[in-house]
Amino acid sequence: MRGRRPGHGDARGAAELVLSALALVLALGSSIVWGAADFSGGSLTKRFPAFAVTVVSQAAGFVALVVAVALRGDVGGRSFTLGLLAGVGGGAGLAAFYRALSLGTMSVVSPVVACGAVLPFGISIATGERPSTLALAGAAAALGGAVLASVEERRAAAPERSRAIALAVVAAVALGLFVYFLGLGSRHGDALSTLFGARVGSLALLVGVASARRAPLRVPRPALFAVTAVGLADVTANMLFAFAAGRGLLALVSVLGSLYPVVTVVLAHVLLGERLTRTQQAGVAIALTGVAAIAGG
């Protein structure tokens, strides 16, 4: 008796599995690059004005996207509009995040910002996405692990702590909206147009706020390369996430793309010699377990 020959359904199922696995890899890649960019950007804002670092880095990414759009020759209207919405959230979130980091209160900022992933995750579930039970459990573990990994023993003085918490809440909500609309535009349209719209929106918002506040926007020439590198890393992470969102469930991709606080903490440990507390070590382990569960689900 002959074995059953693979049909179109089998091939389609295999292709979907490959795309789903690729989406998870791309989302994790975006998290790694975002974490590295935030680590570098946070370090730079301790030495230079936060708005200057944010605007110049965003402008560097904008130039790269202008070149990409010019080479392709067109922009999708709906994707560009969704990108603009993402960019408003991204610009506000980055400004609030970098400003909070400049206060030297990473122990307060990172756990709150890490909770921002709850927003796109919740919206995606509410609008009809249905990951497996194992993947949902993994997403919860990954989010919880990211929060725990961000908790430090140091505590800021009361006035700085209050300001940092307020800024961190703003950053969490704004960056959560950024992730959701960036993913939505990439899923239902064109990734490059969404990315371009997001950068136009974020840069316009940041320049407008900086002008209203008369904030200095100049970066010393010796630091220009480092700030530009942060901007290029940020737009690379955005691109990885946009491609991931177009190939997998946004609920899961948004969680994996939001694990950048774990990366930032690990980089601080490896490069700066900062000690990881037992809580942080447990958080990293739980986050990785959650990632494995998402992949297995």
pLDDT, tens only, 187-244 = 877 889 999 999 999 999 988 888 888 888 888 888 899 999 999 999 999 999 998 9
Say what the pTM is: 0.83
Domain residue ranges in the chain: 49-138+154-248
Contact residues for 122 (Cβ-Cβ < 8 A; gap 6+): none
Output phi, psi for 274, to 5 deg: -70, 135
Residue 154 is which amino acid? Answer: R
Q: Give φ, ψ of 269 to 5 degrees.
A: -70, -45
Query: For the segment 241-295, what is each residue's pLDDT rounded down to a tens digit?
Result: 998 988 888 888 888 888 887 888 888 888 888 777 888 888 888 888 888 888 7
